[in-house]
Amino acid sequence: MHRWTDDTERLAREILEYVRTRARLDPVPLDGPRSADELRRDAGATVTEEGLGGSEALRVFREVLAPACLSVDHPRFLSFIPAAPTEAALLFDLVVGASSIYGGSWLEGSGAVFAENEALRWLADLAGLPEGAGGVFVQGGTLGNVSALVAARAAARGRRPAPPPRWKVVCSEHAHSSLDHAARVMDVDLVAVRPDADGRLTGAAVAEAMDDDVFAVFATAGTTNFGIVDDLASVAAVCRERGIWLHVDGAYGGAALAAASARPLFAGVEHADSFTVDPHKWLFAPFDCCALLYRDPAAARAVHRQSAGYLDVLEGDEWNPSDYALNLTRRARGLPFWFSLATHGTRAYCDAIETTLAVARFAADEVRRRAYVELLREPDLSVVVFRRTGWTAERYREWSRRLLDANVAFVTPTVHEGETVTRFAIVNPRTTRSDVSMILDTMA
Ligand SMILES: Cc1ncc(COP(=O)(O)O)c(C=O)c1O
């Protein structure tokens, strides 16, 4: 198993050929879910005492398992928040996997950590965070958010001799579900305030909800359902006045910091104490990758660093990524993103994000132009939410299922204020105007 043999050589060719073929499909089939019974029947026994051999295991994956996984990078996969990794990032993911890099400490992975930090610095500069800012790439926005809030609470504890009966986080009703999860895990309360008429969390609403038990304000730069960027400047002003930690969740929307046309929406993000953005969403990296940045990394390190006799040897090193989140062993998951940035340059990123924003604006125009659909809100970023007049929830589900079964598109319904509607989340620069028009035509 641990020696390179002729069989391994053959398997390497087959795997690389699979990767080349998958990457070159244009477009890749959308594929779709199957039941466990169907998969069991078609895959047969896969974990056996003697093993299937690499070629056969790869065949099962290629013919049975892979087609049962939706292709999130399909240009007409417009549900949830899709992904659209660059070819360079995808290919480099193979290199990361093949290199057995331990990305938790400087001692073991200095080259990788250095490169990841270069990529983090680009993001920190986009947000206007100070020179001393830094952090770590974690698995996803969920882990980024909880890690940031744990740091925020620790900082508040350090400032208060007597803890309040219940710690609280102020957020908008539109904050991502991962915040609710974080609050449950941390056993803290959420004070969810109603956003303004335009859907934004504002400083005024935050000020009203504030009391002595609040340790953090959680603002969103690009809500999941609508792509709304909270009024970060007014929220930040309240946080600064009261000395409260501001976390900005830019898991989806933070990428648009790179787009000149959207940058003004983010005014105030430079005051964030912590900031997250997922390169696996709109920054063209493969799963899974969230950039977690702190204004003052020492505050995060104070709570996240693990200590034990066997870790003492790491103490005092340049930068140990594990010290900044709920993790110890970690894949250097920022490397595919770094490699793609290094390959293509930042301008290509800015242009690609502008492309998706332009297609989203086109989609909004197309919705406005058609009598049978209605735009719910002018998009801030690249999420376009609309209703098909007269449709029930069931009708949306049928339509969505039909599009997927026909390998046309993956567009799911969502719920807004009790009403079932639908949305396009566009992060793939290869999603075209005609893709959008064609999907809207199917609703006529
Ligand atoms: C605004 C926002 N925050 C957090 C998350 C959670 O990120 P992840 O799915 O990477 O854990 C998402 C996911 O869509 C999101 O849109």
pLDDT (tens digit per residue) in 100-125: 999 999 999 999 999 999 999 999 99
Rounded to a whole number, what is the distance in angstroms from the first to the last CA of the chain? 57
Q: What is the pLDDT of residues 296-334, one digit of tens each?
A: 999 999 999 999 999 999 999 999 999 999 999 999 999
CA of 178 to the centre of ligand 1 (A): 7
- 299's CB contacts (< 8 A; 6+ apart) are 151, 154, 155, 273
* Closest residue CA from atom 10 of ligand 1: 140
- 310's CB contacts (< 8 A; 6+ apart) are none
Among 110, 101, 120, smallest CA distance to 314 is for 110
Half-sphere exposure (Cβ direction) of 213: Cα atoms closer than 13 Å: 11
Q: How many CB atoms lie within 10 A of CB 114?
A: 13
Question: Would the CB of 81 count as within 6 Å of ligand 1?
Answer: yes
Give the span between the Cα atoms of 242 and 246, in whole angstroms.
Answer: 11
Question: Would the CB of 93 count as within 6 Å of ligand 1?
Answer: no
- 263's CB contacts (< 8 A; 6+ apart) are 256, 257
pLDDT tens per residue, the chain (444 residues)? 999 999 999 999 999 999 999 999 998 999 999 999 999 999 999 999 999 999 999 999 999 999 999 999 999 999 999 999 999 999 999 999 999 999 999 999 999 999 999 999 999 999 999 999 999 999 999 999 999 999 999 999 999 889 999 999 999 999 999 999 999 999 999 999 999 999 999 999 999 999 999 999 999 999 999 999 999 999 999 999 999 999 999 999 999 999 999 999 999 999 999 999 999 999 999 999 999 999 999 999 999 999 999 999 999 999 999 999 999 999 999 999 999 999 999 999 999 999 999 999 999 999 999 999 999 999 999 999 999 999 999 999 999 999 999 999 999 999 999 999 999 999 999 999 999 999 999 999
Give the span between the Cα atoms of 393 and 190, in whole angstroms.
Answer: 30
pTM of the model: 0.98
Question: Would the CB of 79 count as within 6 Å of ligand 1?
Answer: no
CA angle 291, 295, 298 (to 5 degrees): 95
3 state DSSP class of 334: coil
Structure tokens at 371: 């009598």
**276 in Cβ contact with 250 (< 8 Å):** yes
Give the span between the Cα atoms of 293 and 443, in whole angstroms.
Answer: 42
Distance (Å) of CA 234 to CA 38, 49, 218, 260: 54, 62, 13, 21
Question: Would the CB of 147 count as within 6 Å of ligand 1?
Answer: no
CA of 314 to the centre of ligand 1 (A): 32
Give the span between the Cα atoms of 74 and 307, in whole angstroms.
Answer: 44
